[in-house]
């Protein structure tokens, strides 16, 4: 019933006590605690009518109208003061601080505050300690890509001006040292904030103001201190290359394809990576602005021989700014879990047989294209719309084969070159990108549906997958999908 975040909050509530859930929304937390017989009663407050209406519906469904009193209130203003545990979760640090500091009756060692800021926890920690509160314990919560903390707080009366190190780490350091699952999550929490601090340091380093540039060294040293605390070693470009090689071995690359580390030193340190389909000048400029030491692209930044490199060439800019480039092209096209399988995921179909086998890895076939079965028959119009929705296209070009469609071929990028192999295996519709006029005419003549979903849209999907894999293996490294990773074509 409760998600990870609210489950962590619930774990800090004292048995047999009365609670206030500030900003109760649907009242799921108090409803859960009352149903389990864990608390003696609860107040649920919200400033808006809509959430209170939802909370009343929850109370009715659970039959807890007598135990749960719902109050329209701004924070804790005007609410009863007999609650023991006060929960303020799912808000910003500034708002939580205001609610706590406005309620003077919380200044009692008998009251327990359970606080869960959605962001800027460092501000909340400073405000609490500056006003006589102290954190007894912190629990990290990892929910997908989001990282939160839940604080157990009491009033001590001792006003302390905490430093930036404690503001960003809090009692999460204690959680880290205790061992167990919470320790692992505490490490991820601390690394997440170390990356935020490092980002701040980079921003200051780019300032034209000399004093701000000087401050960047302070923040960088703070980030390094937290990373060292967690015990993460320096990550090198070679480590990133090795991980990509595990996901999509570079040995799979088609002969003549230029994959691998194309620019840079494999021994260089990596703290921030930018992902893009193509390494354009805009992508390089973004990498410079964001302080990335490495760009990973699908398309090789060096494909044809270079007889000269001028200032308009991205290779020139990479070298000028000391940014490395790893390009994973046909190896990701053919790998299991690579682009064709990612296309199947986007289409919400099960990835099937390889269309054109190019090699074998220990008896496992490797190659281009996947044959997939749709759950029902589609018309060409219906399938084209499904493709458009799956890949986020502005437009879709397609040829209507005039027949019901159930068996489809997925082939990323300019993937029509496997059409002969696809015909041998049989299909109703062929989905790819970059279809030329003669290929569209071929579909008309042979009576099959051909859908052009665009080169960019059928291949940029590699970036979220690679980001997830790299973040899992290298939590201390920032991995960013470039804002400049966009379809170069404009449409009217």
Q: Domain of residue 324: give its range.
A: 237-332+464-481
The Cβ of residue 265 has, within 10 Å, a number of other Cβ atoms equal to 12
Residues 50 and 153 in one domain: yes
CATH number at residue 428: 3.40.1390.30
Same domain, 356 and 315: no
Residue 285 covered by a domain: yes
Quick one: 349 and 367 in the same domain? Answer: yes
321 & 351 share domain? no
Tens of pLDDT along the chain (492 residues) come to: 788 888 899 999 999 999 999 998 888 888 889 988 899 889 999 988 888 888 888 888 888 888 888 889 899 998 999 999 999 999 999 999 999 999 999 999 999 999 999 999 999 999 999 999 999 999 999 887 788 999 999 999 999 999 999 999 999 999 988 877 788 888 889 988 998 898 888 888 877 888 888 888 899 999 989 988 888 788 899 999 999 999 999 999 999 999 999 999 999 989 899 999 999 999 999 999 888 999 999 999 999 888 989 989 999 999 999 999 999 999 999 999 999 999 999 999 999 999 999 999 999 999 999 999 999 999 999 999 999 999 999 999 999 999 999 999 999 999 999 999 999 999 999 999 999 999 999 999 999 999 999 999 999 999 999 999 998 888 888 899 999 999 999 988
pTM value is 0.74
Count how many domains the chain has: 3
Residue 317 placed within a domain: yes
For residues 45 and 75, membership in a common domain is answered with: yes
300 and 398 part of one domain = no
Instruction: Indicate whether 217 belongs to any domain.
Output: no
């Amino acid at each position: 019933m409760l998600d990870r975040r609210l489950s962590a909050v619930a774990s800090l509530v004292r048995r047999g006590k009365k609670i206030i859930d500030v900003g109760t929304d649907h009242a799921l937390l108090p409803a859960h605690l009352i149903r389990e017989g864990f608390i003696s009663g609860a107040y649920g407050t919200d400033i808006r009518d809509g959430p209170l209406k939802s909370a009343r519906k929850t109370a009715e469904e659970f039959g807890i109208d007598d135990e749960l009193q719902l109050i329209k209130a701004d924070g804790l203003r005007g609410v009863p003061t007999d609650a023991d545990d006060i929960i303020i979760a799912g808000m910003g640090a500034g708002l939580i601080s205001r609610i706590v500091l406005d309620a003077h009756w919380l200044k009692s060692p008998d009251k327990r505050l359970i606080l869960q800021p959605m962001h800027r926890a460092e501000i909340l920690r400073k405000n609490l300690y500056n006003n006589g509160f102290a954190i007894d314990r912190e629990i990290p919560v990892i929910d997908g890509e989001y990282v939160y903390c839940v604080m157990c707080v009491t009033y001590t009366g001792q006003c302390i001006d905490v430093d930036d190190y404690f503001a960003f780490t809090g009692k999460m350091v204690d959680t880290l040292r205790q061992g167990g699952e919470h320790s692992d999550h505490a490490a991820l929490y601390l690394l997440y904030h170390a990356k935020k601090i490092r980002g701040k340091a980079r921003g200051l380093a780019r300032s034209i103001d000399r004093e701000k540039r000087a401050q960047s060294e302070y923040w960088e040293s703070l980030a390094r201190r937290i990373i060292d605390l967690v015990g993460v070693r320096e990550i090198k470009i070679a480590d990133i290359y090795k991980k990509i090689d595990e996901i999509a071995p570079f040995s799979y690359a088609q002969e003549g394809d230029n994959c691998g580390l194309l620019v840079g030193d494999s021994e260089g340190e990596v703290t921030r990576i930018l992902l893009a389909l193509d390494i354009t000048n805009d992508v390089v400029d973004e990498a410079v602005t964001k302080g990335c030491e490495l760009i990973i692209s699908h398309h090789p930044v060096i494909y044809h021989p270079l007889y000269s490199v001028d200032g308009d060439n991205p290779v020139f800019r990479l070298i000028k700014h000391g940014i490395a480039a790893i390009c994973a092209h046909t190896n990701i096209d053919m790998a299991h879990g690579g682009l064709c399988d990612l296309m199947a995921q986007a289409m919400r179909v099960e990835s099937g047989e390889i269309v054109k086998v190019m090699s074998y890895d220990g008896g496992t076939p490797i190659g281009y294209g996947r044959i997939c079965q749709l759950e029902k028959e589609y018309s060409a119009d219906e399938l084209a719309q499904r493709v458009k929705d799956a890949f986020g296209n502005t437009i879709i070009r397609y040829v209507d084969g005039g027949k019901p469609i159930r068996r489809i071929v997925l082939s990323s990028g300019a993937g029509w070159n496997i059409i002969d192999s696809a015909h041998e295996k049989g299909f109703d519709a062929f989905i790819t990108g970059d279809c030329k006029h003669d290929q569209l005419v071929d579909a008309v003549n042979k009576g099959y549906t051909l859908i052009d979903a665009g080169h960019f849209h059928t291949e940029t999907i590699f970036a979220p997958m690679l980001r997830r894999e790299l973040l899992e293996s290298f939590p201390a490294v920032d991995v960013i999908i470039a804002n400049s990773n966009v379809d170069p074509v404009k449409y009217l």
